Amino acid sequence: HRLAPGTQPRVCTVVRRLSSMLFKYQGYIGCALVLGGVDVTGPSLYQIYPHGSTDNLPFTSMGSGSLAAMSILESEYKDDMTIEEGKALVAKAIRAGIFNDLGSGSNVDVCVITKEGGQIFRNMEKPNERKFKAQYKGFPKGTTPVLKEDIMKLVTIESGDVTMSG
């Protein structure tokens, strides 16, 4: 779409292409996505499920901590929030996900998308930073014992003919 002179791709076009790709593979290839952007129709936020279905919502969360995050978003979201209020709300929702789910990460990253462009705030907060980091200690070669070694003869060649052994 960008190749067409004077036009920019719409957010819904990107969502449709991703959704079609995920649906085509029927779950053999899947990813859960939150996709946002601004186009000629204004700001958009989409949720794309691993099997290809989509939702267009004012706020969303995905991932293992999404239930805790969604509870914060549902109870505190307002339509007329400033960018700073929105960043604070998203950070609070991510913290809820981090502290209520063992599979979630430990950093708060926030992305703000406006018509001027996007800005990523990496490590905006580190509410669950590790106190100690485990040292990597690789195993020297030869320390893993070989428990069993089998060499099987699967093919027998007799005078140019190949016979499979069972």
> pTM higher than 0.75 for the full model?
no
Q: What are phi and psi of 86, to 5 degrees?
A: -65, -45
Kindly provide the b/e burial profile for residues 63-99, where b requires at least 16 CB atoms within 10 angstroms of the residue's own CB.
eebbebbbebbeeeeeeeeeeeeebebbbbbbbbbbe
- pLDDT tens-digit readout, 3-60: 667 778 899 999 999 999 999 998 888 899 999 999 999 999 999 999 999 999 999 9
